């Protein structure tokens, strides 16, 4: 079965659909494809992201130490991306990029506590 799997979409659960529309559309710049009272679907570069309305909020603390998943977006320059997103009010979990086993990265949370990462591929 694993040879037949392909990524369909990234799904995010948020307690505020209006805030999610603003964050993913205006702050992150994803193109809104479809919207209703409980679901948003955005198109990114090579991926689809769907946001579903939920009731609970969870804090992003210790995201890498609890079961779950994180979505990582590739950017050409972490410093430029951090500067642009910080100017739009994005709160980063790291004050500067960190070196990881698959490249440099920095983590941030959406307004609802879901953690995302920005990554650069390692040189060479």
pLDDT attached to residue 68: 62
4-61 pLDDT per residue, tens:
767 778 988 888 999 999 999 999 999 999 999 999 999 999 999 999 888 766 656 5
What pTM value is reported for the model? 0.79
The average pLDDT across 64-80 equals 78
Domains within the chain, CATH numbers bracketed = 9-54 (3.10.180.10), 65-124 (3.10.180.10)
Shortest CA distance to 116 belongs to which of 45, 23, 31, 43?
23
Contact 112, 102 (CB under 8 A): no
């Amino acid at each position: 079965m694993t040879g037949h799997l392909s990524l369909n979409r990234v799904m995010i659960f948020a307690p505020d659909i209006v805030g999610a529309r603003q964050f993913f559309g205006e702050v992150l710049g994803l193109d809104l494809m479809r919207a209703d009272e409980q679901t948003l679907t955005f198109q990114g570069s090579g991926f689809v992201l769907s946001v579903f309305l939920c009731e609970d909020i969870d804090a992003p603390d210790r995201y890498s130490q609890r079961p779950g998943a994180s979505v990582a977006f590739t950017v050409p320059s972490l410093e430029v991306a951090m500067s642009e997103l910080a100017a739009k009010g994005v709160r980063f979990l790291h004050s500067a990029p960190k070196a990881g086993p698959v490249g440099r990265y920095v983590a941030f949370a959406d307004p609802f506590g879901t953690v995302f990462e920005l990554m650069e591929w390692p040189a060479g």
